[in-house]
Amino acid sequence: MLRALDISTSALVAERTRLNAVAGNIANISTLKNEKGEAEPYRAREVVFQADDEISTQGASGVKVEEIRSSDAEPLYRYQPQHPLAIKEGKWKGYVAYPNIDLTTQMVDALESTRAYEANVGVMEITKNLSRETLTILA
């Protein structure tokens, strides 16, 4: 039964990472500069899960975060020639590059991650109750 707790715990950690990425994406939905102060729109972070074979037992395996990658989506361009961060030359002259982050998609991802987190907490509660009842029967 402890392995069932390990599997659910691995899912909780992975979902927490995913929810943190979503929160960062929402917080930076209008960020136009990178960490160095250069005009570069924020790129959404995407969490990629992978089966965790270290926990595997009798066909069951946990989950872990394989990587957190930046989205390769093209920025959204808005024509704002008076903006201080407007592109000065080239194809997009006079345009400002904004992050290509869809708030609706981020909210759905947050809701999905929250529900998965809650489901794994429920599995842990059931496992704990089964363990307690097993001990009661044996005692």
Nearest-angstrom CA–CA distance, 112 and 132: 30
pLDDT confidence of residue 6: 87
pLDDT in tens, 83-122: 999 999 999 999 999 999 999 999 999 999 999 999 999 9
Nearest-angstrom CA–CA distance, 109 and 122: 20
DSSP letter at 58? T
DSSP letter at 73? P
pLDDT in tens, 27-68: 999 999 999 989 899 999 999 999 887 765 566 688 999 999
CA 53 to chain centre: 21
- Determine phi and psi for 50, rounding to 5 degrees: -150, 150
Nearest-angstrom CA–CA distance, 51 and 63: 5
The domain locations on the chain are 2-138
Nearest-angstrom CA–CA distance, 138 and 87: 73
